[in-house]
Structure 1
Amino acid sequence: MNGVPDLIVIDLDGTLLCPRGQVSESNRRALAEARGAGVRIMIATGRTHVECRQILEAIDYQGPMVVASGAALIDLPSESTLDRDLMDQDDVVVLSEIMRDHDCASLILKDRHAVGYDYLIVGSQHLHPVSNWWFDAHGIACRTADSAEEDSHPEDTLRIACIGAPDLMGQAAERVSDRLGQSVSWRHWPAVGREGEVVHMLEVFGSGVDKWTMVERYAIDQGIPRERVAAIGDGLNDIQLLRECGFGIAVDNADDQVIEAADARTGCHSQDGVADAVDRLLRGWS
């Protein structure tokens, strides 16, 4: 990279966070040094801001952050929504029916700032134990309904998802592709679960939703050129971000597709790869 970036975008799980889900002192210190040098730090995560409050407090985070893999831009500490990409309610109804046919609860993520709660759960009798654990651990506010057609806030949906065994999520993903094609964006991949438990999440967004799409809109609004944006990530929802930003960096534990999309690599998330990358970026990646 030529010179120090104006904005560094950083993923959480598998990137900033160590395997125990914590921020190391080295990584925390590196972020503080970057801010002290006048570089903006932006978190871009698949989580919602409510699902990472303790992490954000640990790094003294303030300002805009990308949540739900690019479906919204949230300001902290106000927790107000600055920008968002919403789903079509007709698509949500179809998707919820597909998830019901696979005996899965539909986790319909809402714009909390607009509606006052986090998820509408359709078919709660099929809620996966991992979802119960996750909601309890993070103090997630939920409402329930028997069908997506009962949604009181259909105009405020950011994402719909379900949790289950990898093969079951793969089957549901095929149905999504067959029924809705390019009208939505989706992926199924490993979800954060309890220790030793392997589950996948199928998550579906409106067409074109991506971390980079939201970061790019923010950068344009702030007058930050694409070439002055660096990003660090590891997951499938980081591929477009790393490919399109001025300088994309994959941690060593990243998926092969992510590494291929990046311009450079840094150490893995268990060895303070973010701290090493930020230090090099502050020196012009020398």
Structure 2
Amino acid sequence: MPDRLIAVDLDGTLLDDTGRVSPRNVEAVVAAQAAGMLIVPCTGRAWCESLAPMRQLSGLSLGVFVSGAAVAEIETGESCDLAAIEPHLAHELVNHLYDLPEAVLVFRDGALAGHDYLVTGRGELTANTEWWFSSCEARVHRQDRPGPEDLHHTLRVGLVTTRSRMHPVIEEIEHKFVGRVLTHYFEAVNAPDDCDSMFVLEVFADGVDKWRGIQMIARQHGIGDDRIAAIGDQINDVTMIRNSALGIAMANAVDAVKQIADVTTEDHREDGVANALERISAGEWIV
């Protein structure tokens, strides 16, 4: 029976720049599991987008996906908990973004909707998004002007664009939908040959974050908040870093994460997760 839970982000944390788990990180996860730690992947990716790196690890049971909107079994992808956006609210969001030059990306629970992404709007998919869909083998459904009846099981509404385009879009959403949604943005996982960085805007139901999913898994295993550590680097990791008994920032983390973390580990290119797990196992970092 595990006595501690270690929540680990994927991109920029557990994964290297090629999207793989390094041999040292794999060994550290195995050793941590043997020492009684429950390792929980906590990622902005959906389950279907996380399969390749998770297959490098064994002994994983549950994960937190879509930035906390879904908790699912690692082996099957079956959802244990979902925090969907209410269909009429999802419809409002889609209509608000519909005329932008970027395609609107509606991520849905695939088991219930029959596809992973509903792509809509007048805009075009970026080359980066096309690459991402292909690399993850995402099931994509295209539909003009979806209504509320088409938007059940929506976990996230978003788009991919440049940093300069992102700010006015976010400001408009936060003004129009204040108190009804949660928004954040960060640099996308870029295609290997991309010259320009793209950024992802994500909109969730209000109250959705990774900490919500972590607590659900912890309760199932009888683990209290005082026995939870979290390792991350991005803005969607802030709540789990802040609320965990031990919040660990990657050296490559954004300032918002570093400012609230208890300690900082190495860069994700330098096996920072392995370094953190080894320090916890050695008793240098207490949780």
TM over 0.5: yes
What CA distance in whole angstroms lies between the structure 1 residues aligned with 2:59 and 2:173?
36
What CA distance in whole angstroms lies between the structure 1 residues aligned with 2:185 and 2:74?
29
Secondary structure of residue in 2 paired with 1:204: strand
Counterpart of 1:80?
A: 78
Deviation by residue 1:70-89 (Cα, 9 ceiling, x = unmatched): 00001021211001111022
Gaps of 5+ in 2: none
Query: Equivalent residues in 2 for 1:223-238 (5 A)?
Result: 223-238=222-237
Query: Equivalent residues in 2 for 1:58-207 (5 A)?
Result: 58-60=56-58, 62-123=60-121, 126-149=124-147, 152=150, 154-194=151-191, 195-207=194-206
Is this contact kept in 1: 2:29–2:39, CA < 8 A? yes
What CA distance in whole angstroms lies between the structure 2 residues aligned with 1:84 and 1:284?
35
In the superposition, relative to structure 1, how do residues 205 and 61 fare at CA in structure 2: closer, same or farther (>3 Å)? farther
What CA distance in whole angstroms lies between the structure 1 residues aligned with 2:236 and 2:141?
27
TM-superposed deviation, 1:115: 2.4
Counterpart of 1:275?
A: 274
Is this contact kept in 1: 2:100–2:121, CA < 8 A? no
Is this contact kept in 1: 2:231–2:250, CA < 8 A? yes
Are 2:10 and 1:29 aligned? Answer: no
Amino acid at match of 1:16: L
TM-superposed deviation, 1:150: 6.7
Is this contact kept in 1: 2:87–2:148, CA < 8 A? no
The TM-score with structure 2 as length reference comes to 0.94
Gaps of 5+ in 1: none
What CA distance in whole angstroms lies between the structure 1 residues aligned with 2:197 and 2:231?
25
TM-superposed deviation, 1:125: 5.3
What CA distance in whole angstroms lies between the structure 2 residues aligned with 1:73 and 1:88?
18
Report the more deviating stretch, 98-107 or 161-170: 98-107
Q: Which structure carries more helix by proportion? A: 1
Amino acid at match of 2:195: G
Is this contact kept in 2: 1:109–1:119, CA < 8 A? yes
Secondary structure of residue in 1 paired with 2:247: strand
What CA distance in whole angstroms lies between the structure 1 residues aligned with 2:18 and 2:252?
14
Are 2:283 and 1:284 aligned? Answer: yes
Runs of 4+ in 1 over 4 A off after TM superposition: none
Secondary structure of residue in 1 paired with 2:178: helix
Is this contact kept in 2: 1:98–1:172, CA < 8 A? no
TM-superposed deviation, 1:187: 0.9
The TM-score with structure 1 as length reference comes to 0.94
Is this contact kept in 1: 2:102–2:161, CA < 8 A? yes
What CA distance in whole angstroms lies between the structure 2 residues aligned with 1:70 and 1:187?
13
TM-superposed deviation, 1:130: 1.2
